Structure 1
Amino acid sequence: MTMFMTVLGIVVFVIGLLFSIAWHEAGHLAMGKLFGVRVPQYMVGFGKTLWSKKIGETEYGLKAIPAGGYCRLIGMFPPDKDGKLKAKSTSPWRSMIEEAREASYEEVGPGDETRLFYTRKPWQKFLIMLAGPAMNLVLGVAILAGVWMTYGVSETTTQVSSVSDCVLAADSKRTECADGDPKAPAAAAGLKAGDRIVEFNGVPVTSYKQLQPMIRKSSGQITMVVERDGQRVTLTPTVAQNKMIKLDGDGRPVKGEYVTSGFLGFTPRSEMQALDVPGVADELVFYMDKSIEGLMRIPQKVPALFGAAFQGDERDQDSPVGMVGAARIGGEVMAADVPVEHRLVFFIQLLAMVNIGLFLFNMLPLLPLDGGHMVGAIWESVRRRIARLFKRPDPGPFDVAKLMPVAYAVAVVFIGFTVLVLIADVVNPVKVT
């Protein structure tokens, strides 16, 4: 049964991924057609065509390899200055440019002269390329907002889940107390599981986010009021100084970094709490900020990823994962021994994370990504405005084809990184259960 649920989870994830890709390409398709660009093909997947149907002037289809998709817009690149497509050059760089230009004209036919992508206004080009990643962002945000406003998010509360018996440093290899270990201040003061801390050193507390830094900054004897069985009880623990894991500005643990701070020795209880609209907005801002930060830190994680893939090193939990790794996580969660609603919620949020990841990745200002084409459209608009300002001739469309050598170099780097992540996901996968 476990194997069946794992396979089911992987299959469902792949279907969700294909939908996300189709949703992305639908943005390019709709915006391209809106601005009059001819779109001969809309395909999900690569390789051999499994199914296709032509509706109007566009062929819609599904291909064998579920690793991407494309929406073919004719005339992506302008012709050379003489208005012609030149024969291939012996220069490898020039050849790349000419091959890209030639490919963009393969399906241009009579009457298409006014329906080429490069002839659109810069702001129209920008919106056509933005539409794809924007669709992923809308889908991801809609899913997360729906889950957070109905099912809720896990919030750490001021209620006590368990009380430690002794003081153990955060980097201790032991998990159980030994003779000679000092007794935890919370246990010594009589704190019990189920107590809810409502006051700390005379200050009312309503959230663990408020309470945690107060504990960490304190030392010596303090007063603490808890609610227990409907009654208020005052405790006077003596806060110990202990080696604790460092927290960032948002109160999240910083892996591998420690500080000496106040310690009571209890574990707070977590509860699912539905968010209102402002709460969803705050959570989305935090999530997007951390996602962007994670994306920017990927180059720093390559050495550790290489070690996990080829040297048997432990795989970090925040290590980059590819679609294979994400599919394995989906299968692992589907087979986990947790309530069905938890599995479904995690799966739905995983799909949302994939969509937000696709948005951020495609917004990188690099060709051949959508962000690279958007930068080209912005530069075209800028230089045309400058030309008008100084009363110079219109420089015409910006020739993105001239940047194809850079695009190929970026593609090689992306492919190499994708292969590295794939190997790591197969031989040393990230596990979440």
Structure 2
Amino acid sequence: MNTVVNILGVLLFAFGIAVSIALHEFGHLLTAKAFGMKVTRYFIGFGPKLFSFRKGETEYGLKAIPAGGFCEITGMTALDEVHPDDRKRAFYNQKVWKRVVVLSAGSITHFILGFIILLILAMSLGLPNNKDEPVLATIADCVQDHTVPYDAPCPAGAPSPAKSAGLQPGDRILAISGQPIATWSDMQKVTRDLSGPNEFKVLRDGKEVALTVDVPKVSRQVTDGKGGTEIKEVGAIGVIVQQSFTYGPVEAVPAAVSFTGTMFVNTWQGLMRFPERIPAVVKAIGGGERDLDTPISVVGASRLGGDAAERGLWAFFMLMLAGLNFFVGVFNLLPLLPLDGGHIAVNLYERVRDWLRKLRGKPAGAPVNYMRLLPLTYVVIFIGGAITLLTVTADIVNPIRLQ
């Protein structure tokens, strides 16, 4: 049964990727048509055509290889041959801002889709506590040392210090013994050094509440700061951090906006570190341990989606899908041909160049000759293809899996 669920998860994640690609191209289609440009073809996939139909002047269809898609707009560059009747509607004859909007529409669609996924997640399974907020999810019945199994029953008449003090799920720790607490890590660090009665100030239902917690010392396995662990006597009160937060329809919007900003920052940082992580992928193909921080392909992402489905980690499944949309959206805006960002850069260059020429009393310059940019385009395609091949190979022979 688990294998079946895993396979279904893989297929569902792959379907999510296909839908994202289709919507990316639909973003180009919708904006181009809105500006009166002529769109001749809209296809999902590449290779042999499976089927198509025509509506108006546009042919819609599906091709055999589900690895992308395209939206064909008349006159994407001044080098394209355009029928005289279509010249006014050609892409290159539109105002620059319209061209930039059409070229950006694919990435913008990814961003909108990623935000919608996060919004749904915020109202259903909850958004992860990515800011390490010191909010209590559960109050344990008792506190026991490391020699007692986690699921062992609690001794009779020995409630946890947190329970005895009146701490409740949903409480946010504000301060401990006068020390401000900003994160759960702060709370753990401070509590481990305590013993005996201490004041815990919490935020509950919008009001500050002060409670006295009698902190005992128990033996626990903790990190030693050198990558290992050791047994130490530490303070413990019996609380568990809130791992995720669920919101109502109104509160979910700003929460999803904030989380979207965080994911954008993480995506950009990941892109900046992308080149330095490629050697780790090569090492993994050779049999080395696969670093969890190494890039993965859609194959690897789909396998992780299957693992998440098998374990019932649907929040993680949705986060991966949202993250993939943000990554593709940002990556596609990089100023490199043949990416949309490369075409945007060319159009903006022409606009700035012509503006400067106008200031000097000169006519607008000729359109950029894309033929001269072909060598650079081929280099980008080659590097992109090589990286894709490496990551797909690594995801087949040494994949990242959920433990």
Q: Which TM-score applies when normalising by structure 1?
A: 0.74
Distance 2:335 2:374 in 1: 14
The partner residue of 2:83 within 80, 85, 109 is: 109
Q: Which residue of 2 aligns with 1:169?
A: none
Read off the aligned partner of 2:42 and give its amino acid letter. Y
Distance 1:217 1:416 in 2: 49
Q: 1:308 to 1:163 in 2, by over 3 A?
A: farther
Deviations 1:204-224 (A, max 9, x none): 87xx74353365479965653
Post-superposition shift, 1:147?
1.3
Which has the higher mean CA deviation after the structures are superposed, 196-205 or 271-280? 196-205
Post-superposition shift, 1:46?
0.7
After the TM superposition, which residues 100-139 of structure 1 pair with which residues of structure 2 at under 5 Å, given as runs? 104-105=80-81, 108-139=82-113
Tell whether 2:333 aligns with 1:363.
yes
Q: Which residue of 2 aligns with 1:332?
A: 307
> For this pair of structures, how many residues does the alignment match?
364
Deviations 1:191-232 (A, max 9, x none): 658674957542387xx74353365479965653469xx995
Q: Which residue of 1 aligns with 2:135?
A: 157
Give unmatched runs, 5+ long, in structure 2: 149-158, 202-208
Q: 8 Å contact 1:6–1:335 — kept in the other structure?
A: yes
Q: 8 Å contact 1:119–1:397 — kept in the other structure?
A: no
Q: Which TM-score applies when normalising by structure 2?
A: 0.79
Q: 8 Å contact 1:163–1:193 — kept in the other structure?
A: no
Q: 8 Å contact 1:199–1:224 — kept in the other structure?
A: no
Post-superposition shift, 1:316?
1.7
Tell whether 2:176 aligns with 1:213.
no
The partner residue of 1:295 within 255, 271, 294 is: 271
Aligned-pair identity in percent equals 33
Tell whether 2:402 aligns with 1:423.
no
Tell whether 2:49 aligns with 1:73.
no
Deviations 1:356-396 (A, max 9, x none): 12101101111110111111111111111111111111114
Distance 1:25 1:116 in 2: 18
Q: Which residue of 1 aligns with 2:154?
A: none
Distance 2:114 2:185 in 1: 31
Q: 8 Å contact 1:325–1:430 — kept in the other structure?
A: yes
Deviations 1:214-267 (A, max 9, x none): 65479965653469xx99543356899x75669xxxxxxxxx799xxx974677
After the TM superposition, which residues 38-187 of structure 1 pair with which residues of structure 2 at under 5 Å, given as runs? 38-79=38-79, 104-105=80-81, 108-155=82-129, 157-158=135-136, 165=145
Q: 8 Å contact 2:38–2:73 — kept in the other structure?
A: yes
Tell whether 2:250 aligns with 1:274.
no
Distance 1:152 1:412 in 2: 41
Read off the aligned partner of 1:322 and give its amino acid letter. S
Q: 1:235 to 1:297 in 2, by over 3 A?
A: same
Post-superposition shift, 1:16?
1.6
Q: 8 Å contact 1:239–1:263 — kept in the other structure?
A: yes
Q: 1:335 to 1:236 in 2, by over 3 A?
A: closer
Superposed CA RMSD: 3.5
Post-superposition shift, 1:425?
0.6
Q: 1:308 to 1:224 in 2, by over 3 A?
A: farther
Read off the aligned partner of 2:213 and give its amino acid letter. T
